[in-house]
Chains A and B, each alone.
Chain A
Amino acid sequence: MRSPFHSEQEAFRFLLLLTLALIPVVLAAALGPTWLALVVLAVVLGVLALRVARLRMRKVRGLALPVKMAPPHMGSAAERRVLVVANDTLGDEALLSEVERLASVPDTHLLLLVPALISPGARLTGAIDGLLDQARARLKTALDRAGGHGLVVAGEISEADPLEAIEDTFATFAPDEVIVSTRSERAASGLEPRLAGLVRERFAVPVRHLVLEPDSAAQEPDEDTEARYRQEFGEVAARKFGLKTLVGAGILAAVLLSMVALVQSSERDEARAASQAAEQAAALPPVAKLVVLKVIPEGKLGPEGEKHDAFTTTEFAVRAGQPQQLRIDNTDTVPHSITSPGAGVNIVVMPGTHTYTLLVRHAGVFLWFCAFRCDEWAMQHPGYMSGYITAS
């Protein structure tokens, strides 16, 4: 994968900028509502995008950079390495003849670079095979022609932007001369005529521009024509880039606005749900945090006039899912229980005073009873050794 950075220093600068840019976003997220963090993120992204767009625009316009560079020569001092960059002109007789002429010079290494000119749209949709096949076919024609004359010529197809492809080739092939072949007007599958000027302003090697038209000799444009190419095609490229930037900014803004709206809507829903829950809770009957009761053997008179074992409290009101404390003084000498299979409750009440936790997970009214064999009549009658748990 291509690194977007030219140097470690550049990468470090980017990392520093990114870290600084994230600080306000993190602060907004920590101290304010989510929508504010999104707005700050949008502003930060906007500023970064603007910076990137300005740098890109400078490249697109091809403004005169003051410094040209080149790597050391590769190979022996006698060797001459020539890079020929072409696409739609590669099949032209004039260029093929020039390639043959150059390749026949002793100690000359020739590399044909064919940028496939894959647009971002084609890359996004994956429709690149046709363009690559076209570039392969053109390169094959040129290589076959040179090979037929016993000449050794290397070829390469690049999916990258032409200028980036040339820059990559400088790292691997280190040409001593570059020849850029274009039409005078840009065709759909052709290189821009201003490419030669862009190469000339970046690399410290001689650059020749061969302008070819079908069935005519190659022309080498003068300085004024090159300046005109740069002006005309630079403006076109800048306009296209500006339009793309606007569309991109519009899409980004729409996505961020949608996110802010979504977050605000979600926050409103949450607030509404919390409010409803609070209202429902307020409407429910109050529950005691701690219920104090006793178990008294033969402590309550039955309707038939006999005394029966009984809990002093047999109706429990609880909140579903919330534990309630029961302090029970079992004055009997044997254990009893509060058992309700429906509520999932089974509290064994030992003799003496102890604290127990009553927890019912679901709302409902559940019958409970003492599961220890004691007063059989009382075990079957709510209000004695039986009763109800109401969970709300």
Chain B
Amino acid sequence: MADIDKLSRRPAEYLAETGVPLLAGGLVFLLLGCSILIQRILPRSFVAQEAPKWTAICCCVAALWLAKLIKQRAVFPRGGYVEPQPHRKTRILVWFAVFAVVISVPVAGLGRLPFLESRFLWPAFAMAAAILGLVTGWRQGTPSMMWFGLYLICLAPLLWWLPVDNYERWAWAQIALGVPITIGGAIRLKRFLKAHPLPLESPRG
């Protein structure tokens, strides 16, 4: 008998296999991180400080649009089109993340909370993400996720050691996350395109 649970997870797994979500996510991290570093290099005038931020946001939107374009032009004609049904747990997680961001932005802006100034904040974040990656990788049996967890473990002391303030440390953390995620996504996409050549005739159904 067919494994119904396994089959119902296939639409989401299929999109993950294409590498496009990873590619888009990694690019967003990279762009946001780079914008902070550029902000630091530029003079402290209003325009010079605001321009990189808004350029990065526009670039992030462009990266997401590019991901959509790759899916429509390269992925769907090869492997087929599917729109996965979001799981209840995923929806709850997404809403929780949005809520956390909405709450944390004014809190971070208004009150200078001591933990936000702490040198351990981003290394601790990297360690937490590493543990999450290792546990998920172990449970799902995905070596790439476990390697990513190990990478984050190595990244944590490096972030702690960096002789910069926390804002810049955050930028480096985003770049350090964005680079492997983008490369991973690009490799997956390349593998997918190689494994799924364009069908010679269109399936009519």
To the question of whether A and B form a pair in one complex, the answer is no
Residues of B within 8 A of A (CB): none
